[in-house]
Amino acid sequence: MSTVAIITLAGDLHARVIRRQLQEVHGVEVAVVASDTLSAAGGLTWSNVAGPAPTLPTEDGGVLDVADLDLVWWRRCHGRPTVPDAVTDPQMRKLVVKDNRAGLRGLLLAGFTGTWISDPYATERAQNKILQLSVARRLGLTVPRTLVSTDPAAVRDFARAHGGTVIAKTMTGLLGTSLEAGRVTLESLRDDDEITVSATVYQEEVPGTDHLRVMVFGDAVHAARIRSGELDWRLAGDMEVEPVAIDERLADRLRRVTVRLGLRMGVFDVKLRPDGEPVFLEVNPQGQFLFVEGMSDMPLGEAFAQFVVDELARVHRRVPA
Ligand SMILES: Nc1ncnc2c1ncn2[C@@H]1O[C@H](COP(=O)(O)OP(=O)(O)O)[C@@H](O)[C@H]1O
Ligand SMILES: [Mg+2]
């Protein structure tokens, strides 16, 4: 029987749904490891002397033997980890978080020889928007004209060249804060200190009301159209979501971006211009997709479970590190 681990944050709905699907429909054993509650959970062990096998604690209070794993779904490891109140020094609290994270990674890097969805380092690297935009463009996708800068003159010149209004968004984002993409005008770009404070993404606005959320799971591509009058559809109360067929050229380019970034999956945000041209905005290496199922009845949970089963069928054991 195959064994899968999902590394994620405590209480993750995606982990719960996919675990149930894999266990009940496909007979695959699934353990969930909550990467943000490792402190005080116990059960994390590695040694190079005979004796204890490498283990990790599972979210439900059990212990997982890393050597038994065939596949790891590396979903989330950057939440807001809990640290016991007894650790009061802020520097020590940071150290606790870093050490638990390094322990988790180390155990898997050294002892896990199966298949990653997706490799942790590829995932981290792929999250960079400058890298994503460069790769997408090189592979033939249309991308918005973009400036990332902390230079007030360059930012104002860019805005002026795009009719005085551009989209501004963060390079990374932060869990628990809502910093959506928004329009900024030359008027609001007068303060040099606001521009120099951090590297920000400025983009031409892609017009229209139709967005695509495209799930690339291995070779399979599932696309949903999200129709909303809001610039950032996450703020919309009125959005319509439905499955759409996308042309094979677009599907293939998105697959190639995923592969070029070293990922096994990717959840893409694409905006459709009124002339029908799809414009790549970003790829989320571990993007959410179950909300699309909830709003469109597309069977994405089962599609993802099937993807995991297909990956399991092709596990080639790597040589241990
Ligand atoms: N250049 C743009 N033109 C039009 N809409 C945009 C643009 N950039 C972002 N948006 C809107 O804002 C949303 C969030 O931007 P996105 O690039 O996906 O970054 P993130 O999801 O990391 O905040 C997009 O899904 C889209 O609705
Ligand atoms: Mg997005």
Q: pLDDT tens-digit profile of 72-86?
A: 999 998 889 999 999
Residues shown for the chain: 321
Question: Counting atoms of ligand 1 from 1, which one is nearest the CA of 179?
Answer: 23
Q: For residues 159 and 221, state if they share a domain.
A: no
Neighbours of 28 (CB within 10 A): 20
pLDDT at 130: 98
- Measured from the CA of 208, which atom of ligand 1 is nearest? 4
Whether residue 134 is contained in a domain is answered as: no
pLDDT at site 1: 63
Q: Are residues 65 and 170 in the same domain?
A: no
Residue 320 lies in a domain: no
- The parent domain of residue 65 ranges over 3-117
CA of 283 to the centre of ligand 2 (A): 7
Q: CB under 6 Å to ligand 1: residues?
A: 144, 167, 169, 173, 181, 203, 205-206, 211, 231-233, 269, 271, 281-282
Listed as ranges, residues in the chain with pLDDT below 70 are 1, 316, 318
Ligand nearest to the CA of 180: 1
For the beta carbon of residue 50, count every other beta carbon within 10 angstroms. Answer: 5
- The number of distinct structural domains making up the chain is 3
Same domain assignment for residues 251 and 170: no
> Do 159 and 55 belong to one domain?
no
Q: 249: which residues sit within 8 A by CB, 6+ positions away? A: none
d(CA 223, CA 184): 30
CATH, residue 176:
3.30.1490.20
Q: What is the DSSP letter of 234?
A: G
Strands 63-65 vs 55-57: parallel, antiparallel or unpaired? antiparallel
CA of 171 to the centre of ligand 1 (A): 12
Q: Is the dihedral of CA 106, 305, 258, 171 positive or negative?
A: negative
Q: Angle at Cα 165 formed by Cα 159 and Cα 170, nearest 5°?
A: 80
Phi, psi of 214 (to 5 degrees): -115, 120
Residue that is last in its domain, among 117, 132, 164:
117
Q: Which of 263, 281, 268 is nearest to 75 (CA)?
A: 263
pLDDT above 90 covers what percent of the chain?
Answer: 88
CATH number for the domain that contains residue 240: 3.30.470.20
Does the CA dihedral 178-184-188-191 come out positive or negative? positive
Long-range contacts at 245-248 (CB < 8 A, ≥ 24 apart): 246/212, 246/214, 246/221, 246/278
* Minimum-distance ligand 1 atom for the alpha carbon of 144: 1
User: Taking every pair of C-alpha atoms in the chain, what is the biggest distance, in angstroms?
Assistant: 68
